[in-house]
Structure 1
Amino acid sequence: MSMRVAWARWYWIVIFTTCAARTASDWLDCAHISTCKCKWSSGKKTATCASGDLRRPPALSSDIQVLDLHDNPLRNLPQEVFATIGLLNLQRLNLRATSLRSIHPDAFLELKILVEVDLGDNDLSHLPRDIFRGNERLRQVVLSSNPLTTLIADQFPPLPHLRILLLDGCRLRSIHTNALRNLKSLENIDLRRNQLTFLRLITFSLPALKTVSLSGNPWKCDCRLREFKDWFLESKLGTEDLLCVEPSTQAGNKWRHVASESMSCPPEIKSSTLVVRAEIGLPTTFGCWVHGVPKPKVTWLFDGVDVHNSTVECDMEETETSVEDDTEDRVPGSVRWVNVTLLNVTSSAAGEWTCVAKSMAGEARAIISLVLPRSQTATARTAPGIPHLLGVVFGALGILATLGFIAAVACWHLRRRTVPPSRSFTDQEKRLIDASVVVSCDRSIGDMASPCDFEMTERMSDEPPRGCGFDPVHITIEGTPGAFPPPPAEFAVPVPYGNIFISVQVAGRGEPAKYPDLLSGGATLPRRNRTCCAAPAYDNMGPRVTATGSSTWSLPGASSENVEVSETPVLTLPPPPPEFVSL
């Protein structure tokens, strides 16, 4: 029985030893990452992965307590990057020179036991607010050699155990008065080699503060630094010799050798408004805002003369105020309003009011113009009378008549240029011009014989002539034979171009047609040439070939002496009475 118990104990010892050895080998082999070396260091499970060309933190054993990623090109840290890979037991984290440009506000979230973090020698120009939220056990934060320019209000969350904050070698120009107020246990802050020109006392009102390193900053020993300088020298928080860089009168002097009374600021002045509009007989108030250390003396000038020596009655009142914005580059509590009140504004008060602030450090001015409303004279307007209205009406009519006359003259000149001058004609010539296309269009008889110049063409063939734009009109002639009667009165010139009467002698009903071409053919009506745009469409006149074979102008009143006898044989028609056909 005792042997069985001994063997059982030995068995469990072997199992425990094997498991312990296997567990130890799990974190010691660094998860088979060749660029990392895992070992015990100062009693901590340490993974050294420096200069391993890693782009992100490696997934190691969750037992790792110290992680050194120095000199790896990480560039950025995403949200909960360490909690995601299970490194929740980290106590020390070295991220120096990892080319970090941005860090997520929750990058270190869930690292509850983190004690030290080194972010030095990176490219961080902006530090997220509350970046160490959840890391309440932090004792040391290193931000050295980053291009940080400012620390904003509540830059750090409450870190009750933080002792050391290193910000040396950055580019800090300003630190908000509330940037460090959550660091109640801060003992050492390093601000060397920055661009600070002044600091405020309230920024470092921390109960546990023991050391403040400030050398290597371009301190401007004026009124803004005056209060902090006096406090720092009395607090014994630093043993360095701090030097003034500005103003030129203090350049190179040590702080302890600069008298506080000489650390002054030239006056600053701003007017409440540029122009004051006042009413005569009513009160008005205006003023100027003044800042300066030492406290400047303020006087008011009216048109270049001190108001105390002028005839204008006024009251002056000074009101102390304070700077509401703590980030402004001036000493809080050193500003005031200086107001002027005129109880009864008169015309003599209008002019230029000047606020002048003087101190040992300089002088400043602000100008305010007081203006009064201009007096205006009202003129009553009467309704316009009838003579006035008539004058307006006739004037308008005269203008219209003048414009009409000018337009008529211009039109007359224009038409005179385009219309040829007129000439006188005899009655016979007028009839020829109005009724004959030959005279008006200068056409020859041969041209008129063209089928394109007649509306109806005398032809035996039914084929229409080529080139004509209109079809011929045939006239059917019926009636008893007879002699030619004289033309009716409607045929006189000028004719209205309505009905045209044609007198034709035809054969009797019982006799054979001697002239079938005349009976079966068509009669033609001369038409004006198409180039005669302004002439009537039909002339009703023109040359005619009579039944006897002679040619004549069928104009009323034409003399028979001028009739030219055709060489063709004279045609003799039977004597039946004519039929007048009206077209």
Structure 2
Amino acid sequence: GGARSPPPGPGHEHPCTGQCLSARSRSRPPPPCCPRRLGTCPKPGTFRHLPALEELDLGDNPHLRVLAPDTFHGLRRLQALHLYRCQLASLPSGIFRGLHSLQYLYLQENGLLYLQDDLFADLANLSHLFLHGNRVRALSEGVFRGLPSLDRLLLHANRLAAVHRRAFRGLSRLTILYLFNNSLAALPGDPLAALPALQFLRLNANPWACDCRARPLWAWFRRTRVSSSPVPCASPPQRRGTDLRHLRPQDFDGCPEEDEDEEEEEEKEEKDEGGGGGGAVAVVGTPGRALGRPGTLPAAPPSAFYRDGLPPHDLRGSQPRPPPPSRDSRGPPEDDVPLAAAPRLAPALLPLLALLLPTL
């Protein structure tokens, strides 16, 4: 029972490509792709005649190993791009250039070995980035630059052994970060301090070294409230199995003090970079709507692979997660809520007081 998709432009016919396209403006589910197997890689410019396309599913194609830098150019209204479970070992610079409306990017279960700086720099409206199940070994300073609206970042089941202390800088709205099942022994330089909105964190299944290298992460846990998985120590032997979060201050006696000059220099750089301010940026092709606002664009149907490793309540549904309060067009911050609304909780305490008073 085939739903027909718009044909590619003249001169760009490609076997199977038309069946992989889902124009969500027609309210039709994405059909299978021959069956989900491309004979060859999409040619450059294959999709340039589809400017209204909102979702493109090329996932689960083992023959999709190489993509040209301009493969997706012209898809300025694209909201969801599925490239999961292919054989992509790398992504060329500029591959996502111009995809300003993209909100969901599925890159999981490929063979990606590295992610270069500024790869996602044009995706200012991206809220979900799935990179789990690859072979990435390190996160550099600028790898996630240009993602101010990112809400969740899944990096589990890679081979991460190093994370730059500034790798997460600018991800001020990130609420979910998965780093479990990697090769991390430490997170030097306190990279998690750049995530003020973080709510859910998974760090288990890593070879954590609970010596002096653990102090930045341990100190971060002491000053933040975040729902976290256990963080079991792998070394030294006497602490193996101990949760890093439960270490004591005396466990770090004799450790060298952190470089205060380096911290002050980093704080100065952050102030210099953040001094420009700036208002909301409109989504391309969506006049009057602002980037990163919940509900500004319709959510794409979730990929079947989205559920891997996520709690049931995390599936996209009718209950969007409220963003962290800030002074912008999303509404008044918490401290601007009228005081008259606060006493509503008081009547709920009266029955409890009635039970307690006779015993006093």
What range is the shorter-chain TM-score in?
0.5 to 0.7
The answer to whether the 8 A contact 2:56-2:78 is kept is yes
TM-score by length of 2: 0.61
What CA distance in whole angstroms lies between the structure 2 residues aligned with 1:321 and 1:169?
32
1:95 and 1:241 map into 2 onto residues whose CA distance is: 31
**Residue pair 1:44, 1:66 contacting (<8 A) in 2 also:** no
Match of 2:6 among 19, 27, 32: 27
Cα deviation for residue 177 of structure 1 reads 0.8
Matched, 1:252 2:241: yes
5 Å-filtered alignment, 1:205-220, equals 205=193, 206-220=195-209
- 2:224 matched to which residue of 1? 235
Q: Is 2:44 aligned against 1:65?
A: no
1-structure distance, mates of 2:122, 2:100:
6
Residue 274 of structure 2 corresponds to none
1:225 equivalent in structure 2: 214
Structure 1 Cα separation of the partners of residues 212 and 5 of structure 2:
63
SS of structure 1 residue aligned to 2:215:
helix
> Which amino acid in structure 2 is aligned with residue 65 of structure 1?
E
- Residues 221 and 245 of structure 2 are in contact (CA less than 8 Å); yes or no, is this contact kept in structure 1? no
Write the deviation string for residues 400-430 of structure 1: whole angstroms up to 9, x where unpaired: xxxxxxxxxxxxxxxxxxxxxxxxxxxxxxx
| 1:161 and 2:149 aligned | yes
Q: Against the structure 1 CA distance between its residues 54 and 156, is the aligned structure 2 distance closer, same or farther, given a 3 Å change threshold?
A: farther
- Is residue 187–residue 208 contact of structure 1 (8 Å, CA) maintained in 2? yes
* Residue aligning to 1:293: 255
Task: Give ranges in structure 2 of 5+ residues lacking alignment.
Answer: 264-360
Residue pairs, 1:274-313, within 5 angstroms = 293=255
1:214 maps to a residue whose letter is: L
Shift of 1:253: 1.5
- Give, as a single letter, the amino acid of the residue that structure 2 aligns with 1:82: F
Partner SS for 1:111: coil
Q: Distance in 1 between matches of 2:172 and 2:144?
A: 11
Kindly indicate whether residue 113 of structure 2 is the aligned counterpart of residue 125 of structure 1.
yes
Structure 2 residue 72 is matched with structure 1 residue 82: yes
**What is the CA–CA distance in structure 2 between the aligned matches of 1:90 and 1:105, rounded to whole Å?**
19
| Whole-angstrom CA distance in 1 between matches of 2:163 and 2:94 | 23
Please tell me whether Structure 1 or Structure 2 has the larger radius of gyration of its CA atoms: 1
- Is 1:202 matched up with 2:215? no
Any gaps of 5 or more consecutive residues in structure 1?
1-23, 265-291, 296-319, 326-583
**Cross-structure match for 2:250:** 261
**CA spacing shift, 1:143–1:323, aligned 2, 3 Å:** farther
Residues 257-281 of structure 1 show CA distances to partners (whole Å, capped at 9, x for unaligned) of: 43231245xxxxxxxxxxxxxxxxx
Alignment partner of 1:53 out of 34, 38, 61: 38
Match of 2:124 in 1: 136
Work out whether residues 162 and 186 of structure 1, in 8 Å CA contact, stay in contact via their aligned partners in 2. Answer: yes
Using structure 1 for the length normalisation, give the TM-score: 0.39
Please, which of 160, 163, 177 is the counterpart of residue 189 of structure 1? 177
Q: Structure 1 residues 125, 134: CA separation in 2 closer, same or farther (over 3 Å shift)?
A: same
Task: Name the CA distance, whole Å, in 2 between partners of 1:170 and 1:191.
Answer: 8
Aligned residue among 79, 82, 87 for 1:94 = 82
2:314 aligns to what? none
Distance (whole Å) between structure 1 residues aligned to residue 102 and residue 60 of structure 2: 21
Residue equivalent to 1:430: none
Map 1:318-397 onto structure 2 (within 5 A): none
Relative to structure 1, is the Cα distance of residues 208 and 322 closer, same or farther in structure 2, using a 3 angstrom cutoff?
closer
Aligned residues: 250
Q: Note closer, same or farther for the CA distance 1:44–1:234 as it changes in structure 2 (3 Å cut).
A: farther
Match of 1:176 in 2: 164
CA contact under 8 A between 1:57 and 1:69: conserved in structure 2? no
What amino acid does structure 2 have at the position aligned with 1:77?
L
Where do residues 462-481 of structure 1 align in structure 2 (5 Å cutoff)?
none
Q: CA RMSD in A?
A: 3.2
Q: Deviations over 1:318-360 (max 9, x none)?
A: xx976869xxxxxxxxxxxxxxxxxxxxxxxxxxxxxxxxxxx
Cα distance between partner residues in 2 of 1:56 and 1:185: 35
Q: Which amino acid aligns with 2:42?
A: P
SS in 1 for 2:234: strand
Q: Is the 8 A contact 2:20 2:58 kept in 1?
A: no
Which SS does the other structure have where 1:229 is aligned? helix
- Cα distance in 2 for partners of 1:138, 1:109 equals 13
Deviation at 1:32, TM superposition (A): 8.3
The 1-side partners of 2:15 and 2:30 are apart by 10
Seen in structure 2, the aligned counterparts of structure 1 residues 89 and 78 have a Cα distance that, compared at 3 Å, is same
Pairwise CA distance, 1:26:
5.9
The answer to which of 44-53 and 226-235 deviates more is: 44-53
Instruction: Report SS of the residue matched to 2:238.
Output: coil
Partner Cα separation in structure 2 for residue 96 and residue 81 of structure 1: 16
**What is aligned with 1:331?**
none
Contact 1:45 1:64 in 2 (8 A): no
Query: Residues 38 and 102 of structure 1: is their aligned pair in 2 closer, same or farther, counting only changes over 3 Å?
Result: closer
| Residue 359 (structure 1) aligns with | none
Hey, what does 2:311 align to over in structure 1?
Answer: none
Aligned equivalents of 2:218, 2:236: Cα separation in 1: 15
Question: Residue 128 of structure 1: CA displacement?
Answer: 1.2
Give the AA of the match of 1:221: C
Letter aligned with residue 6 of structure 2: W
Checking the alignment, whether the CA contact within 8 Å between 1:167 and 1:190 is kept in structure 2 is yes
What is the rounded CA distance, in whole Å, between the counterparts of 1:55 and 1:323 in structure 2? Answer: 54
TM-aligned CA distance change 1:260 to 1:111, over 3 Å: same
Offset, 1:33: 4.6
Taking structure 1 as reference, are residues 184 and 223 closer, same or farther at Cα in structure 2, changes over 3 Å only? same
